[in-house]
C-alpha cells in the first residue's frame, strides 16, 4: 500500500514499511499472501509448520494495522466529532482512551480522536525494533504476545465502530465486501491465536458466530 490516508483530518499515517527482503518475516508475508489467494481463510491463518509463532504474529499485525488504516481512511468525512462524539460500537459499548503517558486515566474522546491516537500509538510500537524486530537474529521481547494482544484488541474496536456506525456509508462507497473480507481474516486470525478476550468481541458477536459457522461448513 503506497498511498497515505488522512485519519481524523488531523494527521496522516504512513503504512508500516515492508520488512527487509530475505528476512523470515518477508518470507512469511509472501507465504501468507499466497495462502490468502486460495480462498480458505481458516487454513491461511494457521501457523506454517516449523515457523516461529512470533514472526507469524508480527507479519499479520502489521497487515491488519494497514487494512484498518485504509478502511477507516475512506470514511473520515463521515466520522467527525459532531457525528461520532464518542468512540462507540453501538449503544452498549463505549471505549475510553488510555496510554499511560498523555492519557494516564481512561478518557472519553470522539471516535476520530480515538482512532487518531490509536494509529499513532500502534505506529510507534511497530517502528520500535525492540518490540517488532525485523533484523535477522534479533529476538522478540518476552512481553511480545501481550503487546500483540493489546494492539489486536484495540484494532477490533475500530472494526466494531465501522460496522455499527458507518456500515451504510461503507456500502454506499462500494467497499463493504472489502471490509467483510478484511474483518473475516482478522477475526479468524485472532481466534486462532486467542488474541482477544471473548467479552471484548461482544459488539460483533453475531457476525463472529456466522463466520465460524461458515468456515466449518467449507
The domain segmentation of the chain, as residue ranges, is 5-217
| Residue-level pLDDT at 134 | 83
Pairing mode, strands 87-88 and 94-95: antiparallel
Alpha-carbon gap, residue 67 to 47, rounded angstroms:
20
Neighbours of 162 (CB within 10 A): 25
Main-chain dihedrals φ then ψ at residue 12, nearest 5 degrees: -105, 140
- With respect to CATH, is domain 5-217 assigned 1.20.140.30? yes
> Does 191 belong to an annotated binding site?
no
> Does 161 belong to an annotated binding site?
yes
> Does 166 belong to an annotated binding site?
yes
Instruction: Write the DSSP string, 113-168.
Output: HHHHHHHHHHHHHHT-TTTS--STTPPPPTTHHHHHHHHHHHHHHHHHHHHHHSHH
The C-alpha angle with vertex 79 and arms to 176 and 161, in degrees rounded to 5, equals 60
| Residue-level pLDDT at 138 | 86
Helices and strands (H and E) in the chain: how many: 8, 4
| Residue-level pLDDT at 5 | 35
Main-chain dihedrals φ then ψ at residue 179, nearest 5 degrees: -60, -45
For residue 211, what are the β-bridge partners?
Answer: none
**pLDDT per residue rounded down to tens, the chain (218 residues):** 223 233 333 343 444 545 555 544 444 455 445 444 445 677 788 898 888 899 999 999 999 999 899 999 999 999 999 999 999 999 999 999 999 999 999 999 999 999 999 999 999 999 999 999 988 778 999 999 999 999 999 999 999 999 999 999 999 989 888 899 899 999 999 999 999 999 999 999 999 999 898 887 77
| Residue-level pLDDT at 20 | 54
3-state secondary structure of 197: coil
Name the pTM for this structure.
0.83
> Does 84 belong to an annotated binding site?
yes
Amino acid at each position: 500500500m503506497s498511498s497515505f490516508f488522512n485519519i481524523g483530518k488531523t494527521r496522516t499515517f504512513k503504512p508500516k514499511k515492508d520488512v527487509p527482503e530475505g528476512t523470515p518475516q518477508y518470507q512469511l508475508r509472501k507465504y501468507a499472501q499466497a495462502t490468502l489467494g486460495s480462498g480458505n481463510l481458516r487454513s491461511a491463518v494457521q501457523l506454517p509448520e516449523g515457523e516461529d509463532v512470533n514472526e507469524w504474529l508480527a507479519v499479520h499485525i502489521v497487515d491488519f494495522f494497514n487494512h484498518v488504516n485504509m478502511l477507516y481512511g475512506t470514511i473520515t468525512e463521515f466520522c467527525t466529532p459532531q457525528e461520532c462524539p464518542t468512540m462507540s460500537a453501538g449503544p452498549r459499548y463505549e471505549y475510553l482512551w488510555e496510554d499511560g503517558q498523555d492519557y494516564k486515566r481512561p478518557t472519553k474522546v470522539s471516535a476520530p480522536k480515538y482512532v487518531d491516537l490509536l494509529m499513532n500509538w500502534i505506529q510507534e510500537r511497530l517502528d520500535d525494533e525492540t518490540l517488532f524486530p525485523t533484523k535477522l537474529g534479533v529476538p522478540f521481547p518476552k512481553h511480545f504476545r501481550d503487546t500483540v494482544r493489546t494492539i489486536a484488541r484495540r484494532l477490533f474496536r475500530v472494526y466494531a465502530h465501522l460496522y455499527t456506525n458507518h456500515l451504510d456509508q461503507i456500502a454506499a462507497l462500494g467497499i463493504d465486501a472489502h471490509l467483510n473480507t478484511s474483518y473475516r481474516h482478522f477475526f479468524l486470525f485472532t481466534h486462532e491465536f486467542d488474541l482477544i478476550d471473548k467479552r471484548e468481541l461482544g459488539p460483533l458477536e453475531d457476525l463472529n458466530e456466522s463466520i465460524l459457522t461458515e468456515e466449518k461448513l467449507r
